[in-house]
């Protein structure tokens, strides 16, 4: 059995016999300007192994059996570009809805939540600039929320391996925390759709700006779990990140993964 076939079988098992059909909508957030990346095209449109960066994220979720619909959040004025330069070159199983990005990532996610069909119980929110996410990891994160009714959400994350230092404004080290308690948050972040929508609305009311969607749910007392993921699931922020992504993705493609 090939790796792809084995992966597909594992995903179908995670979907479970009790789950009839996809129950998750994926929101791909690709509305940023990418100023730190330094490319006028916007980093989500920069080519990576023959496709725009954001296309690899879209493909990973389209392959996930639990996902039945995709919402792609796009920069204002670039919807046609997404249609012609990104989506037109992909053969997708899922229907795609385009939503307009807001002034901040938090605003963009809320725009995506408003645009998603109301029939999906779960929503997976993902950075379009994380093209190395693996479909198996997506399915594990979704399955974690589905399996525990007491959970409001789950996020992919990797264990911190570097020594951490708590430092004051002058550069003086105040403490060396136990790194075993720290994880590096990634996406997707999967939530019960009603819970994360309520969290976003509450954040507007409270004027609360979170660092990720999980922080908004946590702010309302929600229970969110981490699901361990590969450190390869990097976010492309700087030009050197693209070199790492190219090397990793090329290796996967050569192996037929």
Per-residue pLDDT of 101-123, as tens digits, reads: 999 999 999 999 999 999 999 99
Residues paired with residue 28 on neighbouring β-strands, in sequence order: 72, 126
Per-residue pLDDT of 159-188, as tens digits, reads: 999 999 999 999 999 999 999 999 999 999
- Measured CA distances, 227 to 136, 143, 155, 157 (Å): 12, 10, 6, 6
Structure tokens at 187: 């996406």
* pTM for this predicted structure: 0.89
Domains of the chain: 21-255 (3.90.550.10)
């Amino acid at each position: 059995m090939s790796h792809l076939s084995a992966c597909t079988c594992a995903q179908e098992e995670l979907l479970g016999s009790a789950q009839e059909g996809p129950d998750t909508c994926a929101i791909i957030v690709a509305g940023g300007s990418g100023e730190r990346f330094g490319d006028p095209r916007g980093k989500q449109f920069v080519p990576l192994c023959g496709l725009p960066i954001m296309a690899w994220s879209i493909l990973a979720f389209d392959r996930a059996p639990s996902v039945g619909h995709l919402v792609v959040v796009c920069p204002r004025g670039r919807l046609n570009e997404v249609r012609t330069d990104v989506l037109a070159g992909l053969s997708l199983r899922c229907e795609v809805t385009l939503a307009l990005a807001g002034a901040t990532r938090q605003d963009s996610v809320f725009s995506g939540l408003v645009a998603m069909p109301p029939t999906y119980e779960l929503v997976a929110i993902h950075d379009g600039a994380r093209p190395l996410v693996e479909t198996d990891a997506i399915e594990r994160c979704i399955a974690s929320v589905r399996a525990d009714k007491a959970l409001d959400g789950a996020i992919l994350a990797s264990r911190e391996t570097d020594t951490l230092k708590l430092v004051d404004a002058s550069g003086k080290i105040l403490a060396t925390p136990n790194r075993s308690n720290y994880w590096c948050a990634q996406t997707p972040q999967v939530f019960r759709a009603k819970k994360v929508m309520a969290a976003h609305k509450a954040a507007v009311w409270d004027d609360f700006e979170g660092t990720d969607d999980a922080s908004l749910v946590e702010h309302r007392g929600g229970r969110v779990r981490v699901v361990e993921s590969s450190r390869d699931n990097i976010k492309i922020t700087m030009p050197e990140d693209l070199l790492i992504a190219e090397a990793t993705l090329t290796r996967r493609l050569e192996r037929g993964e």
